[in-house]
Amino acid sequence: MDDLERFWDSVFSEDLDRIAEASAPLRPDERASLVAHLRSITVDPDRLRDQRRAASFALTALGQGPRIVLASGSPRRRELIALLGLPVSTTPAAIDEVALPHEEPAALVTRLSREKADVARSNLQPPTSNLQRPTSNVHPPTASRPLILISADTTVSLDGDILGKPADAAEARSMLTRLRGRSHQVLTAVTLVAPNTGPPVADQWITDLASTDVPMRDFSDAEMEAYVATGDPFDKAGSYAIQHAGFNPVSNLSGCYANVVGLPLCHVTRSLRALGVEPPLDVPAACQKHLRYECPVFQQILSESDRRQDQ
């Protein structure tokens, strides 16, 4: 078995170390040819999903998988995005997040996630393309490392009303008083952009929407006051964090926990798959372990992705 045959024999193992070891003896021209061929497989709709997945793993093992740029300063989103197992950097995307008159919650988060992506997209331009110069914490994309930009926006909806981030303690108390003992919806829109490296190829944009019903427990006034005093509600939509161990505001959740935190990873994964990228980690397992939550909906979310890809 020659070196190329040994490499291809390793590809379907989905073992990053084995694939990297098998690629070590290859000449630079052979590696370059393999990278080009593997990339063509990941975006070929006529290929089986297992073939596209294996090609994506192989690119990661070769150090040629995509880099993720997260358009967010949220530490919670940074923690979650790391569970994809892909290289991640961040870039700011400051926008006006005020809802338009009569704007529905789903329309709001969709618009804002795309506006954040557009702002971040304008910050990413290497000299050889129509992207703008990157910020200091973002490495410029190269021909060998494609870039995917991810942005997200999350809001809380109760009876159709949008509950954003509270301006002060009084507004936080008002929101929490409305929410306690009732169910509401948390909506997150995630936008992925695969920027082009020059004309005539257009950017690829995908926006996906996650919605989770969230039952709040009937916490006491004293518990609410103690939580507001921590200052934790002030940068959170709806004035709460589901993961706050001292407050524990939610009971008996049966949907996507990561969505309530601010980044629904299975929705991100299915959007990445639509761009021909398979994360090298088992994302649902990594997410559940990190959040200490047994998710009842991840298979349904990802199977919807599978059906769309097979059409």
86 in the Ramachandran plot: left (φ > 0), alpha (ψ -120 to 50) or beta? beta
Domain boundary among 13, 33, 65: 65
94 and 226 in a single domain? The answer is yes
Tokens of 299: 């298979």
- Percent of the chain at pLDDT > 70 equals 88
The values of phi and psi at residue 164, to 5°, are -90, -155
**84 DSSP 8-state letter:** G
Give the mean pLDDT of the chain: 86
| Exposed/middle/buried for residue 245 (C-beta within 10 Å: 0-12, 13-18, 19+) | exposed
The number of residues in the chain equals 311
| Exposed/middle/buried for residue 278 (C-beta within 10 Å: 0-12, 13-18, 19+) | buried
Looking at residue 145, its pLDDT comes to 61
Known catalytic residues? 153
Q: Which of the pair, 82 or 132, is modelled with greater confidence?
A: 82
Measured in Å, how far apart are the chain's first and last C-alpha atoms?
A: 37
Domain boundary among 25, 48, 65: 65
The one-letter amino acid code at 211 reads S
Range of the domain at 55: 1-65
210 and 122 in a single domain? The answer is yes
132 and 183 in a single domain? The answer is yes
213 and 174 in a single domain? The answer is yes
294 and 278 in a single domain? The answer is yes
Looking at residue 140, its pLDDT comes to 33
The Cα–Cα gap between 287 and 60 comes to: 20
CA atoms within 13 A on the CB side of 240: 33
Contact (Cβ atoms closer than 8 angstroms) between residue 284 and residue 302: yes
Q: What is the DSSP string of 8-56?
A: HHHHTT--HHHHHHHHTTS-HHHHHHHHHHHHHHHT-TTS-HHHHHHHH
Looking at residue 290, its pLDDT comes to 96
283 and 175 in a single domain? The answer is yes
Tokens of 27: 């000449």
pLDDT in tens, 190-205: 999 987 655 545 688 9
The Cα–Cα gap between 267 and 11 comes to: 26
Looking at residue 55, its pLDDT comes to 87
Looking at residue 131, its pLDDT comes to 35
pLDDT in tens, 225-250: 999 999 999 999 999 999 999 999 99
Q: Which of the pair, 239 or 50, is modelled with greater confidence?
A: 239
Q: Which of the pair, 29 or 311, is modelled with greater confidence?
A: 29
| Non-local CB neighbours of 72 within 8 Å, separated by 6+ positions | 78, 90, 93, 116, 151, 152
Q: Looking at the 3D structure of the chain, how many domains does it have? A: 2
The values of phi and psi at residue 170, to 5°, are -65, -40
pLDDT in tens, 141-160: 334 467 899 999 999 999 99
245 and 285 in a single domain? The answer is yes
Looking at residue 134, its pLDDT comes to 32
Q: Count CB atoms within 10 A of the CB of residue 208.
A: 22
Domain boundary among 24, 44, 65: 65
| Sign of the CA dihedral with 15 first, then 18, 20, and 22 last | negative
Contact (Cβ atoms closer than 8 angstroms) between residue 205 and residue 193: yes
92 and 24 in a single domain? The answer is no
Q: What is the CATH number of the domain that holds 281?
A: 3.90.950.10
60 and 207 in a single domain? The answer is no
pLDDT in tens, 252-302: 999 999 999 999 999 999 999 888 888 888 899 999 999 999 999 999 999
Looking at residue 129, its pLDDT comes to 37
Looking at residue 307, its pLDDT comes to 44
Return the residue matching tokens 């769309």: 308
39 and 149 in a single domain? The answer is no
Q: Please compute the mean of the pLDDT values over residues 87-102 and round it to a whole number.
A: 90
120 and 48 in a single domain? The answer is no
> Looking at the predicted structure, is the pLDDT value of residue 114 above 60?
yes
pTM above 0.85, yes or no: no
* CA 165-168-171 angle, 5° bins: 70
Bridge partners of residue 204, in order along the sequence:
194
77 and 55 in a single domain? The answer is no
Nearest CA among 48, 3, 1 for reference residue 22: 3
> Which helix (H) or strand (E) segment is 162 a member of?
strand 161-163
